[in-house]
Amino acid sequence: MVSITLRGPIVTRLGKAQLEITIEKPLKLRVFLQRVINEIEEVHRVWPDAYRMEREALILKNEVDIGVTGGLDTEVNEGDSIVILPLIHGG
């Protein structure tokens, strides 16, 4: 299983901050996130695809920003932890 922790307003929409997704083999983060988006309607309403999610959220894999681990090409493995923290802008 891969543990996903969501933060910000999406938690209210989803009703929980923690998800667990089973994967059969290592996946590129873009494929994994697209699967999450496709399977969970509340996530899809906020981010229609993995590329938009990457632009609009800070994404950590095992507590490390994916910006330094390969971005959406980062490999996700069984036992990993993903945190998705929406970037909130105000003015």
Residue 22 sits in a domain of what CATH number?
3.10.20.30
Asked whether residue 91 is domain-assigned, the answer is no
Asked whether residue 39 is domain-assigned, the answer is yes
CB 76, CB 61: distance < 8 Å: yes
Whole-number Å distance between alpha carbons of 60 and 3: 11
Q: pLDDT by residue (tens digit) across 25-82?
A: 999 999 999 999 999 999 999 999 999 999 999 999 999 999 999 999 999 999 999 9
- Using only the alpha carbons of the chain, give its radius of gyration: 12
Q: Domain range holding 8? A: 2-86
If one counts the domains in the chain, the total is 1
88 pLDDT band, cuts 50/70/90, is confident
